[in-house]
Amino acid sequence: MEMKNILVTGGLGFIGSNFIKHIFEKYDYNIHNVDLKTYAANYDNISDDISHSGRYTLSICDINDSTRIKNLIHRQHINYIVNFAAESHVDNSINNSDPFIHTNINGTHSLLKTLHECPGVEKYVQVSTDEVYGSLTEQDDAFTEATPLQANSPYSASKASADLLCRSFYETFNYPILITRCSNNYGPNQHEEKLISLMIKKAKTGEKLPVYGDGRNIRDWIHVSDHCAGIDAVLHGGRVGEVYNIGGNNEMRNIDIVKSILLLLNKDMSQIEYVDDRLGHDWRYAIDNTKIQTELNWSPQKNFTHGLKELI
């Protein structure tokens, strides 16, 4: 049987690098990583056993460079594309949305256009976010795949735009495109700008832990290993043209996350410092993952408390 070739974009980042690890350990695939090596990427996120395996290559490249991407797809006989490449920090998108438009919208469009000239690509998976659905109240039902897109930040708007481009290329050209939308991730390799990794670092060093507003905003948390297993299930078993929500079934208030970290580190709650709320701060995210569970037999496996202790 001929070995499959998978192109992972953004594979030096948090979720992309964990996905490469997942694929490397589970399948005998050749893995081709394309990453622009921005501030959020790290060469050390890819272990030596992968990088020296003979089944892994890395190209430092902007996904907007369509000529290089097309040449790579043809040269390496790419079967699958999984697009993680994105600017993802909401605060950064509020301060400057330009990189989000460049990578998340234009970059996705550039990748999709390569499918015109690369008929050998069997599947294209767009890795998106639950933030495209907007915000819930505590009384609202969880997001389903049919929930209207109501993005509230420049980041989530750029991801929603990319999702709609993917849908349009499926509907217009019948390209083999699937979309995943996941809840908040935590786990190894996460950049320290994100909530859990930032709070662990500051708690350990005795700094103040900045909490937006009153800290009562709610997020659904999933370990990155469970997310990667969900993407794998969609890539290999999902129905082309469909959206699949990947959620952790673990809603928690931000302040409770912070307190849990302090407790696990035996630190004092006085390190918590409430700061001005984020502009346009969504109140609650919650995912209904019934579709992926029933169709693809996937469910989250990692217990949050165990996963948090392991990460610390």
Catalytic residues: 130-131, 155
124 within 8 A of 175, measured Cβ to Cβ: yes
Distance CA 231, CA 259 (A): 31
Tokens describing residue 212: 């937006």
Q: Which of 130, 25, 15 is nearest to 84 (CA)?
A: 15
Q: Where are the beta strands (DSSP E) in the chain?
A: 5-9, 30-35, 56-60, 80-83, 123-129, 177-182, 184-186, 209-212, 218-223, 243-246, 251-253, 272-275
Distance CA 78, CA 114 (A): 12
Tokens describing residue 24: 């490397």
Chain centroid to CA 131: 11
Pairing mode, if any, of strands 80-83 and 123-129?
parallel
Give the burial string for 29-38 (b: 16+ CB within 10 Å, else e): bbbbbbbbee
19 within 8 A of 12, measured Cβ to Cβ: no
Tokens 């662990």 locate to 200
Tokens describing residue 132: 């495209």
Distance CA 60, CA 93 (A): 23
Tokens describing residue 137: 């109240």
Tokens describing residue 184: 């908040």
Check residue 143 and report its DSSP letter: B
CA atoms within 13 A of residue 11's CA, in its CB half-sphere: 26
